[in-house]
Structure 1
């Protein structure tokens, strides 16, 4: 019988120790008062979002049970918050003259702490109860606001339940006793993914790069191929045009027939290895424009006209610019009331002015990347036509195509 009693006493002691282990304080970022932990969150949200945010942490919005708790909240906000205009949501709502704490599913039955020490009027409108600054000497007190107002909020959780919060906050270094994160032994992690790039033949070099952290410091290698199982290791021994410096992979004299492919970076140390995202090296091109001087464009004064840009073959995408008078390069700027460049490169003139002629108009075509893949550094390829002369006609023949005034255009249909 004595042995049984001893076992029960021992279990009781161990159970008490276990409770103390998880109840000595609050997790980082939480404030202890009595047996409750509080988190004062400055990220403004509407009421429903604030309530959900507290729920996601295993807590609830604040419910005030006593004068001591109210005093703690007011004093903490007064001492720590320099900006006094902020609202802080609680779980309370005020309806028909009564305050209800939703987090505890009960009506308030203690002292009131309304701003101005005045109980709000009895209304058939539900308001949310917040803490707000009541002025010097009064600290923070209650007020009513709409649940749609963006405000900060206060989460609350019993101290005995905070062990789950502590577990969620643990990182890979928990419990190892090392205070300097740089000394932690850990496998590599990619911190900078390689990016796909578009180049064109004739450029001197192209490079893609990845970066990884880890301890020991990781070593890098590069693989070519879309299917990881069939990827081939690329080194300077594979091709003397290849250079690997840390996580940077450089190709001298890129060649579309050899280098057009997908690449992956691998970072590895004694703990493990990690593979980067796929990065593609693609090859773009921009054909040549004819050296033959184009025919003039004829237009009537104060009538609309267009000047077409001879676009060569290209990949993946081009942009267009127009300028007139090669000597001074007067560019057609976006927002010009009288001239507009369409997506297909055509220059539209809303009303031809006498000063627009006789002048030559030059079309510049620039090779650019796509929304997802950038053009390589220093890879600028531009073509220009020989200049199209705009001449005025007195002829009123209906065979000459014209357009009505274009007022502040932002887009234009294709020519097809």
Structure 2
């Protein structure tokens, strides 16, 4: 019986979760965010392929999504090539979501499976459009060459027939988009460990990008100058904050209570008053002093870098102060007065002094942070190939 109750509870809980997830998916669809909506529903069905509420929502939203993107294809075909291409891509994404559903789910949905021939025609048209957009792209500067490559890369991605013209244009654009770096690091450091390892790290990261490489035999088309200056190391510095706090303790104490008793003597009742000891419990506020110690250390250096084309055209230029700080804290507790020293065992336990990391450890962290900062230059270049229609 207990097992049945647990199963019923879990079913109720899971159904409630599904209800809110489906409700959110419908909200996305109402806002026109069909791909997000259908992706969310597909995620539910991958875990619970027979969930009727989710199946009904998918069956309702999917045709609206298809119609929306079919209409956009028709509306933009002869007027806006980018929007026309984007609508076809979105239609393919919607259909891909349908194909990603478990077979058991698809069998319970009354939807027409998108024909393969139509999908192939869509891909062919998308590839052709990206080819045309790439041919029209400005290729005067390096950033423009990256963007043009992005168009031809998408043309190759959607080309399922191995179109020779697309392959040729893609190869030419990739060659033009190759970034061959001449990298120079300058510094005013006494200890060269940080700038040397920063340079080594950057060159190692550079080699992980397919479009970028280091110059050989003076064939660079990009000049990257980095200036690493003004190193500072701050010795650990301790800040002390003092204060008074308290805790409430229950204490046992003996008090004298006045008691009147009646005794019989010589046939007479006589009242006798006397004082007797009695134990009582009272709440007492125990005050104590504390000292909070905060130890701080840091290193910092300035990173100034500029990326230029071979002809001197500046692509990006930035300045960044890199700072790495380490901070530790501990607290000591003391009796508020010597008379209360016997209560010290009830105070919060005093902590031992803590140590910050060493200068060498700070430098290692500073190298990684500096490398990530320089890596942003490469990421920003690579983003130029990510075409946003």
Using structure 1 for the length normalisation, give the TM-score: 0.28
More helix by share: 2
With the length of structure 2 as denominator, give the TM-score of the two structures: 0.29
Larger Rg: 2
